[in-house]
A and B are shown apart, each in its own frame.
Chain A
Amino acid sequence: MSTFQFMTKSDLTLLLGRKAKNATELHAGLREVPAMSVYFHTHRFLQQHHYLSPEPPNDFAYWVTNVLNDDILGERLASIDIMQFTSIEEIRQRFLSLLEGYLQAAERKIDCPRGEEFHFMSCQTFAFPTPYVATTLREFRDILEKVSINTIYYHMFDARMRPELGNNDFSIWIRDSGYPELATAIQALDPYSHTLEGLRKAVTRLIEDYVSD
């Protein structure tokens, strides 16, 4: 059995100095900002509000709903199933096409109040190893119970967006370790519909069946 090195991550938030006051400017900005900015705005709430259930949606949907007060567009943006995409560019294209459809059909275009513009941001990610390494599934489960939520986030969310993977790190190691059914069950979890603590519990629960066998 190979070893699993538990990693963790932290993000430094960057300001891009660009803002939008309506859906047209949101679309223009979304088209031009770096991919990391799209990642930041579609994943930030998962980390910053990971304890909430139901979780607030992505930044775009939150701003459109709560600042522009456009419930219909907000609901559409919130309903985008990020789980179905394995690259940031795919996510960007989905948001852009939804906004384009809206802008073509919209009868009125609302500007936000001054001072409540959408500010495009981005991030620089630092990934680094924790002292925890698992060599067996039992060790893996024990460590999973004590690592920070940043570790869960790194292996379950960031891993899916790494182009060569398209899967979470846990499932890859568990499959390679001879537990293909468990790997598939973890892969089938929708991480975007769990809080991070909920996700920790869900993965631990799935492993429990295999460890006690």
Chain B
Amino acid sequence: MSAIEEYGTVVGPAAIEELFLLARHLRGTVVQNINSTAVGGGVAEILSRIVPLLKQLGVDASWDVIKGDERFFVITKKFHNALHGVPVDISSGELDLFVEVNRRNAAEMHFADIVFVHDPQPIALVTERPARGRHWIWRCHIDFSQPERRIWQFLEQYVRQYDAAVFSAPAFGRALPIRQVLISPSIDPLSDKNRDLSDREVDEVFERFGIDRSRPVVTQVSRFDFLKDPIGVIKAFRIARRRVDCQLVLAGGGATDDPEGPALMQQVREEAEKDTDIHVIFLPPSSDIEINALQRGSTVVLQKSLREGFGLTVAEALWKSRPVIAGAVGGIHLQIAHKYSGILTHSIEGTAQWIKHLINEPEYARRLGENGREHIKNNFLITRHIKDYLLLFLSMAHRGEVTYLE
């Protein structure tokens, strides 16, 4: 875990100084994070980084995890899918159990000045609000653009009891009577996935996977999931390769909860076996250095998603100054200003066209990558995420359009 001051080498000491100045105004306020798992998953990962950094800034931050049995987590997994727009079958008995588990947890917990609840699993703790806790905030980390109606209606009754709801992308905002805040996810520039690597480290990874660095490399790092469109990526690559020499790397893990996953992986494998220029790399979860090297050593990075919550792999590649071509969906719009800091496309043909263009125009590709890195540096690093959280906590006590802090 890096010290907060170390981030000054990346974002400048003035940015870190501003974090300390803001945090000073939260002295005496206890902020309690609550989620449903201490390890595994994106929420636990970000909390494990942000909570210690908040403490270093002088914020009295804590992190509690609710308890639930297997049945509870089967129900919350159904919620998760339903909020992604997947039709699910949830009985009223299951909804009752969900509420009961939340009630039992609430009875055992002590609530702080600001209760910061993450994702749907602990959402119903807020029913204890009249008795305890001054300010309640609900943080939704998942894609919320087309939630299944019945589940949203069930959850909405709880969301409305919070002081504010926090979403990761503008499209997730809804007509709600409470304040809605946009806080995008972030990447950690000092983590293994994003820190600087030497040329030797990058070469070593490319050699290990048998990829020729002397020829252009087009890479997509993503789960093998229909929504990441790996077959579309292969088609775009093949169209582009008719005009420019290049290789394709498809790297990532499988989606264990996706019933279509195995069939898709098989299809990708078969396509790759027919073509020595296509490298399919199945990566285990602890492959941060490999992902870092593959992104860093690529000529062009793709994220040809058909649907996307936020798509942090775009931020990761841009941070490495790579030119990125990505699907114009979800939170990717926030990360790429088309033709300024990357390329947004809507089709296989459009993606192929831009692959050719960026390989043939390395100077333009370099400029896109440099602009992209600056954009990520200013807007999607963990220091910005922490600043947004500090402002969010401060906004609980200050509601005017402009607040002057002494």
Where the two chains meet, the residues of A that have a C-beta atom closer than 8 Å to any C-beta of B are: 8, 10-17, 34, 36, 47-52, 56, 62, 66, 113, 115-117, 119, 121, 124-131, 146-148, 150-151
Q: Are B398 and A126 within 8 A (Cβ)?
A: yes
* CB neighbors of A among B9-26 (8 A): 12, 14-15, 17-18, 21-22, 25
Known contacts A50-B378, A127-B403, A148-B14; 20 additional CB pairs below 8 A are: A10-B18, A10-B22, A12-B392, A15-B181, A16-B173, A48-B378, A49-B337, A49-B340, A51-B374, A56-B337, A125-B403, A126-B405, A127-B405, A128-B22, A128-B25, A128-B405, A128-B406, A130-B17, A148-B15, A148-B18
A14 adjacent to B181 (CB under 8 Å): yes
- Interface contact A130-B21, CB-CB below 8 Å: yes
Contacts of B346 in A (CB 8 A): 113
With a cutoff of 8 Å between Cβ atoms, the chain A residues found around residue B170 in the complex are: 15, 119, 121
Best-surrounded residue of A36, A50, A128, A130 (most CB of chain B within 10 A): A128
- Interface residues of B toward A: which range? 35 or more
14 pairs of residues in contact across A and B, judged by CB atoms under 8 Å: A8-B21, A10-B387, A16-B180, A17-B175, A47-B378, A66-B338, A116-B328, A119-B173, A124-B399, A124-B402, A127-B405, A146-B14, A148-B12, A150-B18
Q: Name the distance in Å between A132's Cβ and chain B's nearest Cβ.
A: 10
Bits for B328-347, please: 1 = Cβ < 8 Å to A, else 0: 11100100011011001010
| CA–CA, A13 and B145, complex, Å | 18
Which chain B residue shows the least CB distance to A35? B401
Nearest B residue (CB) for A66: B338
Given known contacts A8-B18, A14-B182, A48 and B375 CB-to-CB distance under 8 angstroms: yes
Tell me if A14 and B18 are in contact (CB < 8 A): no
Q: Is the CB of A17 within 8 A of B398?
A: no
Q: Verify B176–A128 contact, CB threshold 8 A.
A: no
B171 interfacial contact with A, CB 8 Å: yes
Is the pair B181, A116 in contact by a Cβ cutoff of 8 Å? no
Known contacts A113-B346, A121-B170, A127-B404, A14 near B179 by CB under 8 Å: yes
Question: Which single member of B21, B176, B338, B391 contacts A17 (CB below 8 Å)?
Answer: B176
Q: 8 Å CB contacts to A: which residues of B270-298?
A: none
Question: Which single residue of chain A is at the shortest CB-CB distance from B21?
Answer: A128
